[in-house]
Amino acid sequence: MHVAIVEDDPLLARSISQAVEERGHHCTWVPDGAQAARDMTLASADMVVLDLMLPKVGGMELLRAARAAGIRTPVIVLTALGTVPERLAGFDAGADDYVVKPFALDELLARIEALRRRSSDRPAAEIVVGPIVLHVGRRQATIDGRTTDLTPTEASILELLMHHPGQVVTRSMLCTHAWGFTWDGPTNVVEVHINRLRGKIDKGRTDSLINTIRGRGYALVTD
């Protein structure tokens, strides 16, 4: 596996690269965002460890551009930006995992291996509920024969709803599944993602496939 480290700290990048190569993977270091954009690093590598606070071009900009272009390369964000809104923004931009500096190198290596397994184990998985077919590995949904691309967060939310058809899925459950932690802070981030998902899967339909259950959460329509 080819792992690209997009990080402006040469000592940190060298440490990560050496550890990754000791695990039997090929590793390259990209020192700034402009070079990563020029070399199309997020498209050419098998996995990317991405700093956000990069010189010239920021990591968030790189990630958003890659996902908008349909690039599905697994990305682990590695950054000092560790507040809950910052982490949510990273996942919203398309991160598959998020590690906050300072960090334990062994934990980062474990996350790289876990993400590699998830990426290789689930490429062809499909979930079917009513008119919806979710292609998990491709992050695409087919509704009534029409296929639409989903962001990683949208795919994760739809996957959870489809695992509980007709049942109430709470806001807390969605946060835990989509972002890896439970948080009930004052934000409309879940509602924003639900509305974006509805805009994609409800296109051309009279009624929404996702019901809002006031004060409780959301439920996927099954008929």
Q: State whether 194 and 109 are in the same domain.
A: no
Q: Could you read off the pLDDT of 140-160 as tens digits, one per residue?
A: 999 988 999 988 888 889 988
Q: State whether 116 and 147 are in the same domain.
A: no
DSSP collapsed to 3 states, 26-62? EEEEECCHHHHHHHCHHHHCCEEEECCCCCCCCHHHH
Q: State whether 11 and 112 are in the same domain.
A: yes
Contact of 81 with 51, CB cutoff 8 Å: no
Q: State whether 186 and 92 are in the same domain.
A: no
pLDDT above 90 (res 198): yes
Q: State whether 88 and 164 are in the same domain.
A: no
- What CATH number has the domain bearing residue 105? 3.40.50.2300
Q: State whether 163 and 80 are in the same domain.
A: no
Q: State whether 109 and 139 are in the same domain.
A: no
**20 is written with which tokens?**
């990754």
Q: State whether 215 and 133 are in the same domain.
A: yes
What pLDDT score was predicted for residue 123?
A: 46
User: What range does the domain containing 168 cover?
Assistant: 126-220
Spatial separation of the C-alpha atoms in residues 205 and 36, rounded to whole Å: 41
Q: What are the two backbone dihedrals, phi and then psi, of residue 166, each rounded to the nearest 5 degrees?
A: 75, -5
Sign of the C-alpha dihedral, residues 184, 222, 144, 163? positive
Q: State whether 56 and 141 are in the same domain.
A: no
Mean pLDDT of 28-42: 92
Residue after which a domain boundary falls, among 72, 90, 121: 121
Spatial separation of the C-alpha atoms in residues 163 and 149, rounded to whole Å: 19
Tell me the one-letter amino acid at 39.
D
Mean pLDDT of 20-44: 91
Q: State whether 114 and 131 are in the same domain.
A: no
What pLDDT score was predicted for residue 57?
A: 92
**Confidence at 72, pLDDT banded by 50, 70, 90:** confident
Residue after which a domain boundary falls, among 68, 100, 121: 121
Domain count, the chain: 2
Nearest in space to 18 (alpha carbons), one of 31, 28, 9: 28
- What CATH number has the domain bearing residue 171? 1.10.10.10
- What is the number of other CB atoms lying within 10 angstroms of the CB of residue 191? 12
Indicate the pTM of the whole model: 0.63
Question: String of b and e for 26-47 (b: at least 16 CB within 10 Å)?
Answer: ebebbbbbebbbeeebbeebeb
Q: State whether 88 and 141 are in the same domain.
A: no
| Euclidean distance between the first and the last CA atom of the chain, given in angstroms as a whole number | 43
Residue after which a domain boundary falls, among 94, 121, 148: 121
Spatial separation of the C-alpha atoms in residues 109 and 75, rounded to whole Å: 13
Q: State whether 75 and 28 are in the same domain.
A: yes
Spatial separation of the C-alpha atoms in residues 11 and 169, rounded to whole Å: 44
What pLDDT score was predicted for residue 182?
A: 55
